[in-house]
Structure 1
Amino acid sequence: MKRRSFLKAGLVAGAGVVAVTKGSLTVSARDRLPFVNGENYGLRSSENGLDPSNAPANTAALKAIRDMMQRGGAHRGGKIVLPRGGVYFFNDEIRFDADRIEKVHNIYLEGEGQQATVMDFSTAAPGKCGIKFGPGVGFGVRNLSIRSAPSHNIAVVGDNSGGSNYAARGMFENVRTQQAGAEGILVQNAFGIEMRSIWSTLNAGAGVKISGFSTTIAAYSCYSSDNKGVGWHIAGSVAAALFNCSADRDLFGFYIEGCTTVNIVSGYSEGCQKEAVYVRASPMASLPLALQEQVNGANLIKIDGFYALENSKIGLNKAANFLSVEGVSNQEATVEYTGAWSSNQPGQSLGARFNGTAGKIVRKPGINRIQGDVVDVGSVTVL
């Protein structure tokens, strides 16, 4: 897998254009934005006619700055700052594409707070995302809210054909995404993606979905709530880690399938329709065969510290409150869980369930406090 063959690039932004504020950008270590060392372009309503309620004008202004910043090959990019001003409407997807030769984005979109800068895509055409990054390296969004895109509010979509076709080294921090027509955040065929202090809520799909073939994905102190789909859906991933992340009142809290080495550390789930954590050892037939071999089943799934409170709202004992693991199509699941505290809703007796009828399950429990029954069915080995 030659997915890390990105070329190093220079870091100077392109030339300015009329009606765009241009100023110097000083980058410090605390910014944590890789590759940024260019120019800062601010959208200011008093200077370029940006109007919170004028979706066509806002879309045209942001696209014009994007197009300017995407010039210059490796010597391109910088940071786009949207000011405080409440809700800004946009009527089309804002897609960012990397340089075709160097495969570098080097573009970051930033607001002045989740409440102060809100991007609304409710007037975009059906099937359109809000913000979308294609294959390439170095991109991100922070300090704003994105809402009401007909499809995903934020989409990171690479290509699993290898090399620089993946989307890589993206940073998302202090972002709220809500009321998307599909996923709040979609990460597909990517590596080195980091999420911090994300809140994904009230979306028609998952709060956060990681799919395709993605590796080294990390999330810190992120929250998914009140989504019609799964809180955290992780599929086709190698080496994903979620630290201090939670999911409330979603379909499932955490749904893991076709993965190798996924870690949930200090997780929490409350009031979900089904399980707090559901692990499905499924084949990933949609991936190329060489990639399938790395993720088929559910291998080395580890939960280290978790609180599951009154899940299985779909009906008493129709789902386990804490954890279910299921083997599928003779694929094996290996799961280790320790430090789990599970508290059932009144009348709920099923705490955890391991179904090895269609695929072998190996489970290794540590010190846990799981209220209710822990049920093994079929081929289940307890270490």
Structure 2
Amino acid sequence: MIISEEKKTEFYEALVQRNSQYDGIFFVGIRTTGIFCHATCSARKPKYENCEFFLTAEEALLAGYRPCKRCTPLFYPNSIPNEIEKLVLAVEASPEKRWKEADFRELGIHSATARRKFKEIYGMTFVQYARSRRMGIAFKEILNGKKVIDQQVLLGYDSSSAFNDAFSKIIGRSPKRASLSIVYANILSTPLGRMISISDEKYLYLLEFIDRRGLEKEIENIRNKQNARILPGVTTINRKLEEQLKLYFAKQLRQFTIPLFLQGTRFQMEVWSLLQKIPYGQTVSYQDIANLLGNSNRVRAVGNANGANQIAIIIPCHRVIKASGKLGGYGGGIERKEHLLRLETESENE
């Protein structure tokens, strides 16, 4: 969620004054140390330009920040159950880990208990928490484009080999060298939050909001299907994409001209083709698309194909709504779908 400059100034004042009324209201990421804190953290206060403010812990984690050990922002405002504290510490010990049932059993904790209690305390499940911390490591590397040793220190790894091992586990291990291709991942800032793009010099393979559920699987599929190694970097396609997204959100662009690489089933490709034909500022229903495909009973299948779209905004799955007029689902979150539709409608009416 975008925070206004006025709010940022207010939050910074609260941080300097260690105002306890703001604990849990916002979190502050410190760019120079790579940690995020409460307003009342007793550590020396950073300069304003070194602060990045977030409304949720999940956003801070996805931005690549790790919890401060001094103010322990994840242990507020509730009294944290022992099993939750144990899980948080376990994630920090191996943030690149993908948790399985056996891992919970090893700690003597039931996964359902972890899921329920994390949701109650943090507003996100344990899997979301672990994933956010894990992906934040990769996103930090992509976003900053700094030397590995810099990221190693910021993210709390003791050696470069440990960092490299973690990064490869998150983004995906190196594919077979035969016919190896290289694609580049980059982070883009938009009014609706950060997005990740994956491209080479010819095509855009993926454009998603970084908090989208299932993003890791999408990245893994691209790596496997393209036999590609994914590296942080900027391509010509990415630069063009960034320019066009800025124009789109400024209501100055209605049609994207980014070459896309799409790979799916025949049915998915047919649905995605129809999505690209929906006029700017207009909506159609899932039922409409099913009818156009010649089978009015395939509404659910259309919805699934819509959800499998990996090119957000450019392939405008946000323009598909329920026949009742309700918005329906959206991989980037219903609030973003509503914002995109409102932006396009307002642009049409201006």
Assess same fold via TM > 0.5.
no
Report the structure, 1 or 2, having the larger strand content: 1
Return the TM-score normalized by structure 2. Answer: 0.25
Greater RCO (Cα-Cα under 8 Å, separation 6 or more): 2
Report the structure, 1 or 2, having the larger helix content: 2
Return the TM-score normalized by structure 1. Answer: 0.24
